[in-house]
Structure 1
Amino acid sequence: MDRYLHDISIAIESILANKLKSILTALGIIFGVAAVISMLAIGNGAREEILNQIKMVGVNNIVITSLFDEDEQSQIEGSDKLLQKYSPGLTYEDAKAIKSIIPTVHKVSPEISENTYVIQKGRRKSARLMGVTPFYFDLFSFQLSDGNYFNDYQNIHGKKVCVITNGIKKKLFKNADPIGKKIKCG
């Protein structure tokens, strides 16, 4: 026991004899530990953000996009170029074929989008118009604040149903309830 007390007294004498060195050493340890803790916290935060982004897209989702090669696009002249510009790319029938041919595919939601305007009672705002099927909302885990998603019956029979974002709701309807109201797209 005396040995430990002797060692402690030597350590205290050394610290008191070299105050600046002791303070700088303590600060180095404190900043080092703080840096390690900060880096771990930043890493965990980034990991959580990435996992949330993946969860939004869907862990088991595959997104297939139709793109035209820019080199091919530049070689096409006149009306052929115009036809390719407005080519449907992947069609609804392609999506149904993917689902029927590949047994592990459970849900398919083709999507077409266009930048356009939405108009309601004279208010015109730019928006991204997306044509989707009801499975889209399941695949991408969207949460509605009000109303309902459209269903298969409405989709098959071409009913005029629109799901809008909160941003469009605020721009077009201010504080009014948009459910049941009409908007014009285009």
Structure 2
Amino acid sequence: MTTTEWITDIALVLIVFRQLREGRLDLKTFLIPLGIVAFVAHTYLDSVPAAGNDLVLIGALMAVGAALGIAGGVCTRIRVAGEHLLIKAGAVSAILWVLGMGARMGFQFWVSHGGADNVVRFSIAHHITTDQAWVAAFVLMALTEVVTRLATIFIRSRMVNGRQAQTTAATHPAPSLDRTA
């Protein structure tokens, strides 16, 4: 693994640790992880191979990424404090995030330290045509995990905001515009 790969992988893992401390849900919450995975996709995703069972591999790892992302987003606490939404990744969310990002990092490390022959044998046996299929599968898994986690957090934040608005309206009704009373 190159220094850039290590830095990128570690940055992706560290994103969730930033959210273990409760902080304001803002644009940075979404842009930083999206920026990192966009960089990874741009750097490593040359193509999406479609021969043999390449798409099966890619789809399977994207499904794992989606499941981890949705579960991580659901396990992230979102609450209202004054006029702001606050977000805090819980232990389960952090574990799921590290599991997904760490699995990719672990696979890269394993392949570059003696596991390549096993991957080649598995690829031949399962009709995976190129190493680019593995690259695409893991990059798209990470991208899918990030996007689904952020989408889940975004949807949940809108729901929390909506409930807060309903509660505020019920406890503080708007003044009547009827002047005849």
What is the TM-score normalised by the length of structure 2?
A: 0.24
Q: Which has the higher contact order (CA 8 A, sep 6+)?
A: 2
Larger-gyration structure (1/2): 1
Q: TM-score, normalised by structure 1?
A: 0.23
